[in-house]
Structure 1
Amino acid sequence: MRKFMLSFLAIFATVFLTAHVAEANDTLAKIKERGYVRIGVFSDKPPFGYVDKNGKNQGYDIYFAKRIAKDLLGDESKVKFELVEAASRVEFLVADKVDIILANFTHTKERARVVDFALPYMKVSLGIVSPEGKVIKDINELKGKKLIVNKGTTADAYFTKKHPDIELLKYDQNTETFGALLDKRGVALAHDNALLFAWAKENPGFVVGIESLGDVDAIAPAVKKGNKALLEWINNEIIELGKENFFHKAYDATLKPIYGDSVNPKSLVVEGGKL
């Protein structure tokens, strides 16, 4: 009886895994049959992903998402944007609510255990922004004070692990997070430096006192774990787009109008998936 049960379980596991792989590899066909690709993006993280005053999705990630739709389905409008929060990005992939996440998603070892990352198209590190006159220039200045972060972000993970003595105020949405800084609920805010540079330029009275913190991280698209066909397609797309300097064009169209000449594109842009 025991041998029979072990044999049955082995057969069941093989059938389950085979079906799972077949389903994942069939995603490209499903997308084409559906007629549009579902891409998770931010609604409140300008200039990377946001909804403008006319209700249109805009930003660096949106620019890339539209090109994916064009090259995959022949029309850049054949994309359905699903709005996500930082902490819900993994959930949206696992629950099959989206095909791809393009929400300024940093590649980490922890996330790579549950989703599959494609090649990078951007690089970033953490920064800290604080009010003029009370600029935080060193992490030691945060001890005994409140630091604002987004839940589920690399900033949240970094300070929780590296500096547990610093009190964190955590919020889901970027609007809440930056609102907390404006309301002086914390002395500073930690986030991706690329975002902070843009925010500080649009909000006089704030300074990015710590421009780079921790490691330089890769920003990359992500798909559901085991979705090899779609992952391979995206990797090939990024490599091909690199041949035409696509991501520098995306930078010029979406980020340069915000940064001006204050940021070197080479410090952020990745072409062809090569860091």
Structure 2
Amino acid sequence: MFKTRITYYILIAAFCLVAVSTAGCGQTTPGGDKSNLKDTEDVAAKTVVQPPTPKKLTEKELSLLPPDIRRIKERGRLRVAMFWQDRPPFFYADDQGHLVGIDVTLARDIARWLEVDVVFDRQSKSFDEVVDRVAAGQADIAISKLSVTLSRAQKVRYTQPYVVFNQALLVNRLALTALESKHPDREPLDLVINSAQQIGVRTATSYVEYGGILFPNSAITSFTKLDELIAAVQEGKVMAAFYDEFELQNQVNKNPKLSIYTKLFVLKDRVDPIAMAVAPEDGQLLAWLNLYLDIMRQDLLIDQQLAKYSGGVQ
């Protein structure tokens, strides 16, 4: 079981509402009863769409809205950019093929409060592409287990984080032992971070940028798939895998033998904040989303939910 306690700043509705029900937590849902709506999938575009049921506004009502909110209201749909591959428990297809998860429920609830429908745009083949689609105006918002980075923040504006992970390292035990034998007076983690090593990260993720910051003396090697990265650590091709604690702990839980060959270090002083993103010009939408998170925020320790959905995706 995934033991690490992670504090999630998300709305209570993320766990009270299911994918096709608007009842829960004693809350009235704006925009009417949508409990019978079902997703349909555009396979070619990797996009999941709910049938449109927007609340129509008069021209006078629309004229009072700022341009970014008015654009969404006039269209009648909130376009949400989301990475194409599943990332349980944030977004994934359930046994019936329905798109579910923390980010999916957040997006649906945001759309309900805006009184529009929601469209999940899953064309992006990397998390950087998710950001690019928002920056280019092809999506209104990114909700996609999206890490905050300085380079991405040059293109988009982030909300306050709704999830905060710690960064982590999965280190090859033999390589670590050899390094410790040469420097017995230094801490193991300090040795890994400050000596010249090969560090593995996932391609086109925030950890490419994070790695360049944390490991100035090391060579950063990118891997397209997580299982390839983990195998490289086991085989000693890289000293360590650098990723968030949830993903790495997940790998250890799924494969207990991995602990024989590797050691997990959680970097308590280095965080990986997860936030939503909007286009730079969408200031009113950003303010609205931050207010939404403030109103709905509760400190929820969801170890049980994380353990339930910690299967992960390779």
1:41-120 to 2 correspondence within 5 Å? 41-42=82-83, 43-52=85-94, 54-73=96-115, 78-84=118-124, 85-120=126-161
Pick closer, same or farther for the CA change 1:57–1:178 going to 2, 3 Å.
farther
Tell me how large the CA RMSD over aligned residues is: 3.3
- The letter for the 1-side match of 2:290 is N
- Write out aligned runs for 1:203-242 (5 A): 203-207=255-259, 209-212=264-267, 214-242=269-297
Does 2:227 match 1:178? yes
Structure 2 letter corresponding to 1:218: P
State yes or no: 1:123 paired with 2:164.
yes
- Quote the Cα distance in structure 2 between the aligned partners of 1:209 and 1:165: 21
TM-score by length of 1: 0.68
Greater share of helix residues, 1 or 2?
1
Q: Measure how far apart 1:239 and its partner are.
A: 1.5
Amino acid at match of 2:119: V
Number of residue equivalences = 228
In the alignment, which residue of structure 1 is the partner of 2:189?
Answer: 138
Change (3 A) 1:74 1:154: closer
Using the aligned pairs only, state the percent identity. Answer: 23
| Aligned residues of 2:78 and 2:116 also touching (Cα < 8 A) | no
The partner residue of 1:202 within 241, 254, 261 is: 254
Q: Please state how far the C-alpha of 1:73 moved relative to its aligned partner.
A: 2.5
Three-state SS of the structure 1 residue aligned to 2:137 is coil
Deviation per residue, 1:25-52 (Å, 9 max, x gap): 4232222232321112232332223344
Q: Which amino acid aligns with 2:273?
A: A
Tell me which amino acid in the other structure corresponds to 1:99: D
Cα distance, 1:168 vs. partner?
Answer: 2.0
Distance 1:131 1:193 in 2: 16
Where structure 2 has 5 or more consecutive residues not aligned to the other structure, the ranges are: 1-62, 178-187
Question: What is the rounded CA distance, in whole Å, between the counterparts of 1:130 and 1:41 in structure 2?
Answer: 30
Query: What residue is the counterpart of 1:15 in the other structure?
Result: none
Query: What is the alpha-carbon distance in structure 1 between the residues aligned to residue 218 and residue 239 of structure 2?
Result: 11
Q: Distance in 2 between matches of 1:160 and 1:39?
A: 30
Change (3 A) 1:128 1:220: same
TM-score of the aligned structures, taking structure 2 as reference length: 0.61
Partner Cα separation in structure 1 for residue 90 and residue 175 of structure 2:
28
